[in-house]
Amino acid sequence: MTRLAAVLILLIAAALPAAAQERVWVQIEAHPTLNEAEDRARTYAGNFGNVGAFRLASGWYGIALGPYDRAEAEAALRQLRGGGSIPRDSFVSDGGDFRQQIWPVGAALDSPAPQPPAEPAAAPVPAEPPAQTTLPDETRAEALQAERTLEREDRALIQTALQWKGHYNQAIDASFGPGTRNAMAAWQTAEGHEPTGVMTTRQRADLIAAYQAETGRLGMAALDEREAGIRIEMPLGLVEFDRYEPPFVHFGPRGDSGVRVLLISQRGDQATLYGLYDIMQSLEIVPLSGTRERDAASFTLTGQNARLQSYTYARLIGGAVKGFALVWPAAEDERLMMRAAMTMRETLESVPNAALDQTMGEASPEQRADMLAGLEIRKPDETHSGFFVDARGTVLTAVKGLEGCNRITIGHDVEMRLTASESALGLAVLKPTVALAPIEYASFQARVPRLRSEVAVAGFSYGEVLDLPVLTNGTLADLRGLNGEDGIARLEIEALPGDTGGPVFDAAGAVLGVLLAPAEGARQLPANVRYLADVASVGAFLSGNGIEMRASESEGALPPAVLNRRAADMTVPVSCWN
DSSP string for 25-62: EEEEEEESSHHHHHHHHHHHHTT-S-EEEEEETTS-EE
Q: Which among 8-17, 28-37, 117-126, 423-432 has the top mean pLDDT?
A: 423-432
Q: At what angle do helices 334-347 and 201-218 cross, to 10 degrees?
A: 80
Backbone phi and psi for residue 218, each to the nearest 5 degrees, phi listed first: -70, -35
Residue ranges, CATH 3.40.1000.10, the chain:
220-375
- pLDDT value, residue 14: 37
Instruction: Provide the 3-class DSSP secondary structure of residue 481.
Output: coil
pLDDT, mean over the chain: 85
How far is it, in rounded angstroms, from Cα 548 to Cα 329? Answer: 50
Task: Give the residue-averaged pLDDT of 157-185.
Answer: 91
- State the average pLDDT over residues 399-410: 88
DSSP-H helix ranges across 423-571: 535-544, 560-570
Average pLDDT score over residue span 425-450: 94
Q: Is residue 414 predicted with pLDDT exceeding 50?
A: yes
Say what the pLDDT of residue 420 is.
95
Q: Is residue 445 over pLDDT 70?
A: yes
Through-space distance between the first and last CA atoms of the chain, rounded to whole angstroms: 95
Please say whether the beta carbons of 477 and 455 come within 8 A: no
pLDDT in tens, 521-574: 777 888 899 999 999 999 999 999 999 999 998 888 999 999 999 999 999 999
Class of the CATH domain delimited by 379-578: mainly beta
- Predicted pLDDT of residue 12: 37
Q: Which residues contact 569 (CB under 8 A, 6 or more apart)?
A: 438, 439, 440
Question: Which CATH superfamily hosts domain 22-103?
Answer: Sporulation related repeat (3.30.70.1070)
By 3-state DSSP, what share of the chain in percent is helix, strand and coil, each rounded to 5?
25, 30, 45
pLDDT at 353 over 50: yes
Does residue 457 contact residue 471 with C-beta atoms inside 8 Å?
yes
**Which of 293, 281, 500 shows the shortest CA–CA distance to 375?**
281
DSSP, collapsed to helix, strand or coil, labels residue 250 as: strand
Give the three-class secondary structure for 272: helix
User: What residues have CB less than 8 Å from 551, skipping those under 6 apart?
Assistant: 443, 444, 446
Nearest to 383 by CA among 319, 462, 277, 450: 462
The strand pairing partners of 25, in sequence order, are 93
Least confident interval from 304-308, 424-428, 463-467 = 463-467
3-state secondary structure 318-373: CCEEEEEEEEEECCCCHHHHHHHHHHHHHHCEECCCCCCCCCCCCCCCCCCCCEEC
Looking at residue 24, what is its pLDDT? 85
Q: What's the order of all strands across the beta sheet hosting 260-267?
A: 239-245, 248-253, 260-267, 320-329, 308-317, 298-304, 292-294
- Confidence at residue 62, expressed as pLDDT on a 0 to 100 scale: 85
pLDDT confidence of 171, banded at 50, 70, 90?
confident
Q: How far apart are CA 327 and CA 239, in angstroms?
A: 10
> Over the range 392-431, which residues count as b (16 or more CB within 10 Å of their CB) and which as e?
ebbbbbbbbbbeebeebbbebebebeeebbbeebbbbbbb
Overall average pLDDT of the 23-33 stretch: 83
Among 60, 96, 94, 66, CA closest to 80: 66
Q: What is the pLDDT of residues 288-311, one digit of tens each?
A: 889 999 999 999 999 999 999 999
CB 505 within 8 A of CB 562: no
Neighbouring C-beta atoms of residue 458, cutoff 10 Å: 26
Predicted pLDDT of residue 122 = 43
According to CATH, what is the number of the domain 220-375?
A: 3.40.1000.10
Residues of the chain with CATH 3.30.70.1070: 22-103
Nearest to 281 by CA among 407, 372, 381: 372
Enumerate residues 6+ apart whose C-beta is below 8 A from 214.
164, 336, 339
> Distance between CA atoms of 165 and 448, rounded to whole angstroms?
74
79-100 pLDDT tens trace: 888 777 888 778 888 787 787 8
CA 388 to chain centre: 36
> What pTM, to 2 d.p., does this model score?
0.53
Other Cβ atoms closer than 10 A to 477 = 17
Among 65-74, 277-286, 539-548, name the most confident range.
539-548
Evaluate whether 317 touches 324 at the Cβ level (below 8 Å). no
The 8-class DSSP code of residue 450 comes to P
Judged against a pLDDT cut of 70, whether residue 15 lies above it is answered with: no
pLDDT band at 431 (very low <50, low <70, confident <90, very high): very high
